[in-house]
Amino acid sequence: MTASDRARELLMIAAAAADSKQAEDLVALDVSVPLPFADVFLLASGRNERQVVAIAGEVEEKLIEFGAKPLRREGRTEGRWVLLDFGDLVVHVFHEEDRMYYSLERLWKDCPVLPLGL
C-alpha cells in the first residue's frame, strides 16, 4: 500500500507553502504501511519560534484554501513543534533544535521518502 493520490496532492500544496516561508530540510515520508491513520508525514524546520509559527500558518492557510479541513493542530503557542493533522497528511514543523532532538526521520527510517520536486 502506498500514499493515496489525495495525500500526495495535499503534500505538494503543503510543501510549496512551507517552502514559500523558507522552511528548511523538507522531507516527506510515506507512512501508509505502518500507520492506519495517515498516509504521509511532511517534516519541515524553522530557525526560530516565529518562523516555525509562520510556516505552520502558511501551510494551514493554503490547505484550507484547497478545501482540506484540519482535524487537529498542536504546538502553535510554543512555536517549537507545530503539528497539523489533515487526516491523510500530517505536517510537523519543528524548531531546528527540536527536530534534531526528536529525529522523526530516524524513527520512521523504514518508510519511503517521497520526492517533493522543490
Average pLDDT over residues 79-107: 96
Q: What angle, 0 to 180 degrees and rounded to 10, lies between the N-to-C axes of helices 49-66 and 5-20?
A: 140
Res 1: pLDDT: 64
Q: Residue 61 and residue 57: Cα distance in Å, rounded?
A: 6
Kindly report the CATH number assigned to the domain that includes residue 93.
Answer: 3.30.460.10
pLDDT at residue 8 tops 90: yes
Q: Quick check: 74 and 82 in contact, CB under 8 A?
A: yes
Indicate the helix (H) or strand (E) that contains 26. Answer: strand 24-30
State the total domains in the chain. Answer: 1
Range of the domain at 97: 5-114
Average pLDDT over residues 61-78: 96
Name the pTM for this structure: 0.94
pLDDT at residue 95 tops 90: yes
Work out the percent of the chain whose per-residue pLDDT is above 90: 92
For 28-59, what is each residue's pLDDT tens digit? 999 999 988 899 999 999 999 999 999 999 99
